[in-house]
Amino acid sequence: MLVPPDMLAAQSKMLYQINKYYGERVQSRKGQVAKTIREVCKVVQDVLKEVEVQEPRFISSLTECNGRYEGLEVISPGEFEVVLYLNQMGVFNFVDDGTLPGCAVLKLSDGRKRSMSLWVEFITASGYLSARKIRSRFQTLVAQACDKCAYRDSVKMIADTTEVKLRIRERYVVQITPAFKCSGVWPRSAAHWPIPHIPWPHPNLVAEVKTEGFDLLSKESVAMQGKQSAMEGDAWVLSFTEAENRLMLGGCRRRCLSILKTLRDRHLDLPGNPVSSYHMKTLLLYECEKHPRELEWDESCLGDRINGILLQLISCLQCRRCPHYFLPNLDLFKGKSPSALENAAKQVWRLTRELLTNTRSLEKL
């Protein structure tokens, strides 16, 4: 295919600007976040060590491996989530019947006695392992650990939430979420994935992702808000972090996400938090389906992919709906105010227009 020389020149100018932005703004964000992570994890590891002394069932799974912390997610440069993996889910069946979008329950397997479970006192009368009861116990333990640990002067529990949230040095917030890892199973609510007849993801990658499985988290979910059923407190929230990260490998996908996160932190950190890094990640996965060939994720296409994702974001904000990548029935904008979404749509449009019309826009952004 012959490309007009002026178009090639514009593309190489854009690529130069993107690489410069990545080398300066993005790397500086990454460096700052990495430094914060080390600082925050020292405190969290100490708190969890205290928890383990009081209650050996909550074993800390926060370990460092090649400079990365297992189970740590960056929500934003000042907010983190640490997933604490619990043991022995074995005696429970995983049930997701779609009653609560994005959630599932763990039910004692037929013929299994409660006493066979390590978590016996958190099983409800109907045989469900209650996410809320486990979290409530864990919250009490963390509160006690905060008072005893070596960093007690710089760590506080955040009150008025059922979540386990710590404020560290008055600057950072860390949520610690008890969870079970579900490997080798795939939820029924995500059975439609992958979409047939497109070349991405490759069948081998699909098999890998499905074997890796997903996590069940004990946390509040937007899907549960306003639903006052008894089951809702016992339900666990489905999380596909590992699967999503695996799909991000290859081409310039991760680089693309890092740039979008940096743009988000610098220009879209808005009241009511209508646009999060997770929305960016979700839309990047949809963009992979729209551009399923690997050559469309070559570095030379980076500018087009970024603009495509920002245009998708504007469309979602205007429709006030952003479906979860694996669970399309779950709307990631649920609970956000219409005015916050409307304001965000205007801001994203301003940003996108700047990127589309001005090749040197990244110097200022």
Burial of 230 (0-12, 13-18, 19+ CB in 10 A): exposed
Query: Which domain CATH number covers 295?
Result: 1.10.1410.40
The pLDDT value given to residue 231: 67
Radius of gyration of the chain (CA): 22
Amino acid (1-letter code) at residue 206: V
Beta carbons within 8 Å of 204's beta carbon, 6+ residues apart = none
Q: What six digits make up the tokens of 277?
A: 């890094």
CA–CA dist 4, 6 (Å, integer): 6
201 upstream amide cis, omega within 30 of 0: yes
**CATH number of the CATH domain containing 204:** 3.30.460.90
In a domain, 355, yes or no: yes
Count the domains in the chain: 2
365 residues of the chain, pLDDT tens digit each: 565 667 677 778 889 999 999 999 999 999 999 999 999 999 999 999 999 999 999 999 899 888 889 889 999 999 999 999 998 777 788 999 888 889 999 999 877 788 888 899 999 999 999 999 999 999 999 999 999 999 999 999 999 899 999 999 999 999 999 999 998 889 999 999 999 999 999 999 999 999 999 999 999 887 666 555 656 789 999 999 999 999 999 999 999 999 999 999 999 999 999 999 999 999 999 999 999 999 999 999 999 999 999 999 999 999 999 999 999 999 999 999 999 999 999 999 999 999 999 989 999 99
Residue 240 lies in a domain: no
Asked whether residue 264 falls in the same domain as residue 221, the answer is no
pLDDT of residue 238: 97
Cα distances from 203 to residues 116, 199, 200, 330, 349, in angstroms, run 39, 9, 8, 25, 36
pTM: 0.94
- DSSP three-state, residue 69: strand
Reported as a single tens digit per residue, the pLDDT across 311-348 is 999 999 999 999 999 999 999 999 999 999 999 999 99
Q: Residue 102, by phi and psi: left (phi above 0), alpha (psi -120 to 50) or beta?
A: left
219 and 312 co-located in one domain: no
Claim to verify: residue 93 and residue 130 sit in the same structural domain: yes
Please answer whether residues 277 and 261 qualify as being in contact, where contact means their C-beta atoms are separated by less than 8 angstroms: yes
- Backbone angles phi and psi of 250, in degrees to 5: 95, 145
Class of residue 181 by CB neighbours under 10 A (exposed 0-12, middle 13-18, buried 19+): middle
Specify the pLDDT at position 151.
95
Q: Assess whether 61 and 112 both reside in one domain.
A: yes
**Is residue 72 located within the same domain as residue 212?**
yes
Q: Where a domain ends, among 225, 242, 261?
A: 225
Is 188 within a domain?
yes
| Structural domain span for residue 156 | 35-225
Domain assignment of residue 344, yes or no: yes
pLDDT in tens, 241-293: 999 999 999 999 999 999 999 999 999 999 999 999 999 999 999 999 999 99
